[in-house]
Amino acid sequence: MPANILLVEDEPAIQELIAVNLEHAGHHVIRAKDAEGALGIVRNALPDLLLIDWMLPGISGVALARQMRQEDRTKAIPIILLTARSAESDKVAGLEAGADDYVTKPFSPRELLARIKAVLRRRAPQMTDDPVEMGGLRLEPETHRVFGAKRTLELGPTEFRLLHFLMTHAERVHSRAQLLDHVWGDHVFVEERTVDVHIRRLRKALEPSGHDRLIETVRGSGYRLTASPA
């Protein structure tokens, strides 16, 4: 379950310690030392999860979390706040700002990794290794395999990620920009037409079992995966 994690921490030693531990666990870590830096990174590409230190110079971690929650594009990014403050009122303030979880310093790397896993499972099921099933279509993240009506279907890596996202967010219409953000992590440097190309490839890959029917084009809006195609 490797995730792109944006770590916002101003203290170099702590930043290094956390980053090394997360990378050791297989995650990809992008670092920022303040909220402004983090906002710049997020503008270009959405991370899978934000790990934000409460006490930052300038805009505080809580204010950054609140800002993320207010914008449509970033409101669904899972957020964990790191803090040295353990008072109950601080915890409440953090959660009210929109954080999904709250980890008090000092914490063990193991605890942090467990929290990250739990938050991803809850908020971003496409990031976990749990198999997903729908209308006879089964996707297994751990083995990277897809079965349609019990036969193995061949998917490229992008089509696999796209299908994983659609299956874990089924019955909803996703715009091309949203799919770029969630599947490619990037909505600025990748053209929206790219989505159409990969949807076409995905449909072709699902054809042998007839599951290509589950992917609907919603005119003017985007794409939807549905268990009951029209």
Residues within the interface to Ca ion (CB under 5 A): 10, 53, 55
Structure-token pair, residue 50: 């934000």
Half-sphere exposure of 161 (CA within 13 A, CB side): 16
**In the chain, what are the helix, strand and coil shares in percent, each to the nearest 5?**
45, 20, 35
β-pair partners for 31: 7
Rounded to whole angstroms, the Cα distance separating 43 from 215 reads 29
**96-101 long-range CB contacts below 8 Å, 24 or more apart?**
97/62, 97/63, 97/65, 97/66, 97/69, 98/65, 98/66, 98/68, 98/69, 99/52, 99/62, 99/65
SS3 42: helix
Question: Cβ 115 to Ca ion, closest distance in Å?
Answer: 18
Judged by CB, which is closer to Ca ion: 10, or 216? 10
Judged by CB, which is closer to Ca ion: 10, or 140? 10
Judged by CB, which is closer to Ca ion: 33, or 69? 33
| Position of minimal CB gap to Ca ion | 55
Question: Cβ 63 to Ca ion, closest distance in Å?
Answer: 14
Judged by CB, which is closer to Ca ion: 65, or 127? 65
Contact at 8 Å (CB) between 54 and 148?
no
Question: Cβ 27 to Ca ion, closest distance in Å?
Answer: 21
Cβ neighbourhood burial of 84 (10 Å; 0-12, 13-18, 19+): exposed
Question: Cβ 70 to Ca ion, closest distance in Å?
Answer: 23
Question: Cβ 93 to Ca ion, closest distance in Å?
Answer: 16
Judged by CB, which is closer to Ca ion: 83, or 126? 83
Judged by CB, which is closer to Ca ion: 94, or 148? 94
Question: Cβ 32 to Ca ion, closest distance in Å?
Answer: 12
Nearest 5°: the CA angle 159, 161, 167 is: 100
